[in-house]
Amino acid sequence: MQCEYEALLKQKTWDLVSLHPGRKMIGWKWVFRVKENVDGSINKNKVRLVAKGFHQIHGFDFHETFSPVIKSVTIRVILTDVVSHRWKLFHLDVNNVFLNGILDETVYMQQPPTFEASDQSLVCKLNKALYGLKQAPRQCFTRLQHTLQQLGFVSSSCDTSLFIDQHKSDVIYLLVYVNDILVIGSSLSLIQIITAKLHANFSLKQLGQLDYFLGL
């Protein structure tokens, strides 16, 4: 819980302010789970501070919520290309993925007990798309999409979660599923350059060459 709280403060997830007259704040909860390895053994214990998004009101503190994810048929087609061309394939994980989304709406949340500031009358005015918020997945994807477009990637017209970057005879594919990113390409040096640029914008965990993805 302490590590999670410190990560939220480091990301400047909220500002402590007085609640604006006529506004209501939403609640929160701690969510605990055990992350397992492919063989079922315990990898680590995880905890998230999750906003109670079901307290939000549509049109008031959230609007659009839809966020695309990579389609299973796209994954299989790209993996076929990987095998056919003997391309390199790497797996990235975005740490605290939803905190990369910037909120457009004003959302207030209660201070987490045991972590309150000295003035307990203050509330958290959320700056980042905390887990549990209705718009969190969309805001996160929008930020990632914008970053990739700045790096020269183009979304596929068949699957908006497939990003393509062509460099002369080399090609790089990025497949995005929430916080999981597959980086595939014909050039290892280009993959390393793209990964470094992504890491400059997001906190990434490099999981190495792919061996397990979405049940495959």
Residue 215: inside a domain = no
Q: Which whole-number Å values give the CA distances from 166 to 171, 180, 197, in the listed order?
A: 5, 22, 16
What is the C-alpha separation between 94 and 84, in angstroms, rounded? 28
Query: CB 14: neighbour CB atoms within 10 A?
Result: 20
Q: pLDDT at residue 179 above 90?
A: no
Contact 12, 96 (CB under 8 A): no
Mean per-residue pLDDT over the chain, rounded: 89
Share of the chain above pLDDT 90, in %: 40
What is the C-alpha separation between 49 and 168, in angstroms, rounded? 45
* pLDDT tens digits along 149-169: 999 999 999 999 999 998 888
Residue 214: inside a domain = no
Residue 11: inside a domain = yes
Q: pLDDT at residue 190 above 80?
A: yes
In which residue are the tokens 């790497």 written? 90
Query: CB 16: neighbour CB atoms within 10 A?
Result: 13
Tokens for 73, please give them.
């048929």
Could you tell me the residue range of the domain that residue 52 belongs to?
2-209
Instruction: Give residue 186's pLDDT.
Output: 87
Number of independent structural domains in the chain = 1
Residue 216: inside a domain = no
Q: What is the mean pLDDT of residues 61-82?
A: 90
